A and B are shown apart, each in its own frame.
Chain A
Amino acid sequence: MIQEAAVAVALTISGSALLTVTGRDVTPAARCWLSVPIGAAGYLLMALVSLLVLETLDPGAVLIVSLGVSVLLAVVQMIRRGIRREELAWMLAGAGLALITVLVARYFHLTRLTPDSLRYLLASNDLVLPGGLAEMNRTDLMTRQIGLPALHSLSDLAGRRYLASLGPLFGAFGFALFVWLAVEMTREGTNRRRRMLLVGAAILFLASSNRLVYDSFYINTHIQMAAYVLIAVAGAWLAVSGRSRWSIPAGLALGVALLFRPEAPLVVAIVLVTIAASRASLKVRLALSLPAAVMVGVWYGLGLWRYAAGGDEISVTAPVFGSMVAVGLAVVLCLVTVSSRVRLWGRWLDVVGLGGLALLLLFYIATDPVVFGTSVEATIRNLARDGFWLLTWVAAIGLLVVALVVETIPDGRLWTVPILGFAILYWALPYIREGAWRVGAGDSGNRILAHYLAVTVLFLILAAVHNARNEAR
């Protein structure tokens, strides 16, 4: 248990240290809650380099290098501007929470395994072998990617086959980040009593969501993806709204999400096209888009292209090539539209992109309505009963429809377009992955709903706060 605790603390310290480059824009408290996902992102970047250059993964060495680089960055920051006691205190608080999470996770043994989990864990064993990526199943390489396996490879250091605390760490820190964002984003909107009521209700709602809690203990990529989507969307909005250095964690989240899910390039493209249409500065655009550009170039271009089954197929519908085109195009649009010449039409790019996605979905439905019909039926049954979401999505979707109509959030399209984009993507994915969504808590469609829940709930309360503010005027 000591080794597992050390891994968790190392990830936390690494994330907090890396985030010192964000200066005052990302407060020490926010850095604390971001530390696990960002520390994991730093580790994964190094792991990717190791797998491509050295063709194997030594998890201990990679963890030490990523921790070393982050601490070095923090030392440079300390020399330049000193360190405040508050920063140190929050860093230690993060390490403390990580320790407690490991203790609780190990003591209660709540880890859930399914056949999917075992494929991820098999891959985590493959990556540490000589020729790591070549050892991994070529189909799994595309469908399961290396993000989760590379993180679970750290269990080697603890002499175990998986890290029971990995999911709980993302769950606990992701939830704490949600609470911080909810408190922070509603700070200026309404009176204290009403704000507490709103934030408290949102926290209770999220905490009562059965599948999201389950995903914190389930060995799969869902809780990680939920954390990174939350950081990307909320961070992009904060960066555009004046706290520009939030673009650093948001950009890292977008980049590293590409290592977790096969559909992540489309999620990333949706967010980047939304940023392209925003009033974001060039610096913000660069910080948000470059990690994704580098990651898609390195991972998809050098890794999956070579090792994944059918990875070198050149077609827009091919998983590797198509993903590279989607992210590459989104990055170019994100950077080009900062120019004043194209700003005028660029500001509607997100709406055009959303329309294009909707048209693509309509085309799919027209060509094969049965898949859509089956997916609709399965989704309704999953949301109502069989997916174990209880009232979570029934309530969230009803409230979301109203919130989309009444929202007056400044730069609100940074919320509404991704949420609508994710919704359209949800219906398009059965066609892209060639199989309708099915009934049951274990179906992929039912599971991926967890990725977007925290973002949706945060949008719901933001919409309420800004309406209340308008009302007060």
Chain B
Amino acid sequence: MPKPDQPSDWRRRLGAFYSRFLPAALVLAAVVNLALTPFLPGSGAPIRNHEDGSLTELAHVEQRAVDVRFGFYLELDDATDGGVLVVPAGSFVNHELAEGFADFEVVEANYDPTSEASEFGSAPVIGLVETSAGDLSYSIIPGEGDLWWLAQPAEGHVVVVPESVAPAPVSP
């Protein structure tokens, strides 16, 4: 690889200026970065994950054509119309589809399973996601709560519960 030619005068002057100016420019940018960081949404207060570092365990309530895979991810083969997926407080539900996708919607955002409230914590917010026919995949991300709630399972529900408290499979 050839050595660069002797720099011309203007390049030399610009280079000298650059060399002198660089530390100040970097420090200035860093100071502004640090000063503004607390104002970035979500940057100052990281979401706390699960207390025990686990993700979730899924247990399906009834046996009809529901394939539960791993704690934090499930695939519903030929999900039935009107099936309901119970997800924990603040969860983000992402759907990705194989063939025959059918739409889904959150049908109830503040479901409170009172019977377990005293045992597992306070102020649960459980989202219910209604499934309809088709092959669906959901990935579920925990919200800010440390504890996950064991909902009162109803017919057709898939329940998302913490690994540490889940008796799997859960019976209705």
Closest B residue, CB atoms, query A122: B73
A114, A463, A468: the one within 8 Å of B141 (CB)? A114
Interface set, chain B 1-49, CB cutoff 8 A to A: 1-4, 7, 11-12, 14-16, 18-19, 22-34, 36-37, 40, 43, 46-49
Q: Is the Cβ of B23 less than 8 Å from the Cβ of A198?
A: yes
Chain B residues within an 8 Å CB radius of A210: 33, 37, 40, 43
User: Among the listed B19, B27, B32, B48, which residue makes an inter-chain contact with A390, where contact means beta carbons less than 8 Å apart?
Assistant: B32
Chain B residue nearest to A410 in the complex (CB):
B3
Does A110 reach chain B (CB closer than 8 Å)? Answer: yes
Total number of B residues with any Cβ neighbor in A under 8 Å: 47
When the two chains form their complex, are residues A408 and B15 in contact, meaning their CB atoms are under 8 A apart? yes
State whether B33 touches A197 (Cβ < 8 A): no
Return chain A residues, CB-CB under 8 Å to B24: 201
Nearest residue (CB) in B for A463 is B18
CB distance from B90 to the nearest CB of A (A): 12
Given contacts A118-B139, A471-B19, contact A161 B29 (CB under 8 A): no
Q: How far is the CA of A49 from the CA of B1 in the complex (A)?
A: 37
Q: Chain B nearest CB: distance from A88 CB in Å?
A: 33
A392 touches B139 (CB 8 A): no
Contact A388 B33, CB 8 Å, known A115-B94, A118-B72, A471-B15: no
A412, B4: Cβ atoms under 8 Å?
Answer: yes
Contact B22 A461 (CB under 8 A): yes
For B139, the chain A residues whose CB sits under 8 A away are 115, 118-119, 122
B53, A113: Cβ atoms under 8 Å?
A: no
A225, chain B: closest CB distance, angstroms? 21
Task: Collect the chain B residues with CB atoms within 8 Å of residue A306's CB.
Answer: none
B54 at the interface (CB under 8 A from A): yes
Report which of B2, B4, B36, B72 forms a contact with A121, defined as CB distance below 8 A.
B72
Report whether B26 and A202 are in contact in the complex, using a CB–CB cutoff of 8 Å: yes
A121-B55, A399-B22, A470-B7 given; A205·B27 CB < 8 A = yes
B29 & A392 in contact (Cβ 8 Å cutoff): yes
Q: Does A423 contact B (CB under 8 A)?
A: no
Tell me the bound Cα distance from A391 to B142 in angstroms. 31
CB <8 Å contact, A208 and B33: yes
Q: Which of B156-170 contact A (CB under 8 A)?
A: none
Known: A210-B37, A408-B7, A471-B16. A122 touches B70 (CB 8 A): yes
Q: Do the beta carbons of B141 and A115 come within 8 Å of each other?
A: yes
Contacts of A395 in B (CB 8 A): 25-26, 28-29
Would you call A35 an interface residue if the criterion is a C-beta within 8 Å of the partner chain's C-beta atoms?
no
- With both chains docked as a complex, state the minimum distance between the C-beta of A115 and any C-beta of chain B, in angstroms: 4
Task: Bits for A200-240, please: 1 = Cβ < 8 Å to B, else 0.
Answer: 11101101111000100100000000000000000000000
A281 at the interface (CB under 8 A from B): no
Inside 8 A of A279's CB, which chain B residues have their CB?
Answer: 1
Provided the pairs A111-B49, A113-B141, A121-B72 are in contact, do residues A388 and B43 lie with their beta carbons within 8 angstroms? yes
Per-position binary interface string of chain A over residues 448-473, scored 1 when its CB falls under 8 Å from any chain B CB and 0 otherwise: 00000000010011011101101100
Known interface pairs A160-B53, A214-B43; A406-B18 also in contact (CB < 8 Å): yes
B32 / chain A contacts, CB cutoff of 8 Å: 390-391
Q: Does B92 make an interface contact (CB < 8 A)?
A: yes
CA distance A470 to B22 in the complex (A): 16
Assess whether A204 is in contact with B55, with CB atoms less than 8 Å apart. Answer: no
The complex places the Cα of A214 from the Cα of B53 at a distance, in Å, of: 19
A205 and B1 within 8 A (CB):
no
User: Nearest Cβ in chain B — how far from A192, in angstroms?
Assistant: 14
Take A112-B47, A118-B141 as given contacts and tell me if A390 and B36 are in contact as well, using a CB distance cutoff of 8 Å: yes
Does A109 lie at the interface of the complex (its beta carbon under 8 Å from any beta carbon of B)? yes
Residues in A neighbouring B113, C-beta threshold 8 A: none
Residue of A nearest to B71 (CB): A161
Answer whether A109 and B48 are a contact pair too, CB < 8 Å, given A402-B18, A471-B16, A471-B19.
yes
- Among B25, B37, B40, B142, contact of A399 (Cβ-Cβ < 8 Å): B25
Structural contact, A160 and B54, CB atoms closer than 8 A = yes
Q: Which of B16, B26, B30, B47 contacts A467, CB < 8 Å? A: B16
Distance in angstroms between the alpha carbons of A457 and B29 in the assembled complex:
13
A402 touches B30 (CB 8 A): no
How far apart are the CA atoms of A164 and B2 in the complex, in Å? Answer: 46
Q: Do A413 and B34 form a contact, CB below 8 Å, given A122-B73, A464-B18? A: no
CB distance from A162 to the nearest CB of B (A): 8
Closest chain B residue, CB of each to CB of A413 = B1
Q: Which residue of A lies closest to B72 (CB)?
A: A118
Give the residue name and chain of the B residue nearest to A391 (CB).
B29
Apart from A391-B32, A463-B15, A463-B18: 17 A-B pairs, beta carbons within 8 A: A112-B47, A121-B55, A201-B26, A208-B29, A208-B33, A209-B33, A390-B33, A391-B29, A391-B33, A407-B4, A408-B7, A410-B3, A413-B1, A460-B22, A461-B22, A467-B16, A468-B16
Q: List 21 A-B contacts (CB under 8 A).
A: A118-B72, A122-B69, A122-B73, A160-B53, A161-B54, A161-B71, A198-B22, A202-B26, A208-B29, A209-B33, A210-B37, A210-B40, A388-B43, A395-B26, A395-B28, A399-B18, A399-B25, A408-B4, A412-B4, A460-B22, A468-B19
The 6 A-B residue pairs with the shortest CB-CB distance, nearest first, are A406-B15, A395-B29, A467-B15, A208-B33, A201-B26, A201-B23
* Chain A residues with a Cβ under 8 A of chain B: 106, 109-115, 118-119, 121-122, 125, 160-162, 164, 197-198, 200-202, 204-205, 207-210, 214, 217, 277-279, 347, 388, 390-392, 394-396, 398-399, 402-403, 405-408, 410-414, 457, 460-461, 463-465, 467-468, 470-471
